[in-house]
Amino acid sequence: MGSFLSPDPTRIIAKRIILTGHPFKVHKKTATIRYMFFNREDIEYFKSVELHTKFGRVGHITEPLGTKGYFKVHFDGPFQQIDTVCMSLYKRQYPKVCPLSY
């Protein structure tokens, strides 16, 4: 169950979606990631978003590779092959307005 707060339309409700990708090649702090995106335009669009891993590393997209959705990421420390790369995206949700029926 959950709790009910008043349906105030000025409150901001955010829904979080996490995109995940897997490392293809790893070299110290740099890794090639695949399966997060599937075309070059999406990589260029999300290039400024910060990435994080399940083991706590933080990184940024440096460049897209080819047209199949592979890209390079530079992390703040040594990256491991078994780690998963995540990107959190937030979308604003509006409360549902239901007309009262008597």
Answer with the residue of higher pLDDT: 11 or 88. Answer: 88
Instruction: Write the DSSP symbol of residue 70.
Output: E
Owner of token pair 């990421």 = 73
Q: Round to whole Å and give the CA distance between 1 and 14.
A: 19
What integer best gives the mean pLDDT of the chain? Answer: 87
Cα separation, 62 vs 46, whole angstroms: 11
Of 25 and 10, which is predicted with more confidence?
25
**Position 98 confidence tier, pLDDT thresholds 50, 70, 90:** low
Q: Return the higher-pLDDT residue of 32 and 13.
A: 32
**H-type helices in 1-102, by residue range?**
40-45
The predicted model scores a pTM of 0.73
